[in-house]
Structure 1
Amino acid sequence: MPDQTDFDEIVAYLTRTTRLSPAEAVRIVHEILHFMDETPDDFIRRRHRALQTAGCANSEIFARITAELAQWRFRADDYSERQIRRAIYG
């Protein structure tokens, strides 16, 4: 998380450049920071649930997650299909 000065500057910028109130800007910044704190394992589980809900088969899901991890914001090593399965099923 950014230090308080950076946080305050981001909130001030959002209130100055959008129609957000200060309270709304604070909420938005907190939500974005929470989203950015997602770990690779959390991302894998979230995407697995979403893709499973969309009706994808696990073989397709694992391939898509592998491709998405390579392009996502994580600085994680490449995950094998076995590591992805372990993150999902424990």
Structure 2
Amino acid sequence: MPDEEIVRRIAGSTGLTASEAARVIEDVIAWYGESVEEYVRRRHGHLQTHGTRNAEAFAIIADELSSRPVKAPPLTERQLRRIVYG
């Protein structure tokens, strides 16, 4: 269960019940809880499925990483490539 204070705040600002707010918070925490490596691999696979070439995919991923709430350190294309391909 997430912190009660944030549950109250989200429930109060959205009109959700406390249990609904807690579930939303848990979903958001889980979404952003994956490691940088997990995120890079998942996004790369998703982008490749949609026909994005590697150079463009790595640029997109690097940009996305810089705007996540818990920022990853800046990663070069080479570092991203190593995460994906080992």
Same-fold call, TM > 0.5? yes
**In the alignment, structure 1 residue 67 sits paired with structure 2 residue 66:** no
* Structure 2 residue ranges without an equivalent (≥5): none
Aligned-pair CA distance for 1:14: 2.3
Asked if residue 34 in structure 1 is aligned to residue 30 in structure 2, the reply is yes
- Which of residues 15, 32, 46 in structure 2 aligns to 1:19? 15
Q: RMSD of the TM alignment (CA)?
A: 2.2
Moved over 4 A (4+): none
What is the total number of aligned residue pairs between the two structures? 86
Residue segments in structure 1 that go unaligned for 5+ positions in a row: none
Q: How far did 1:74 drift?
A: 4.0
**Percent identity among equivalent residues?**
37
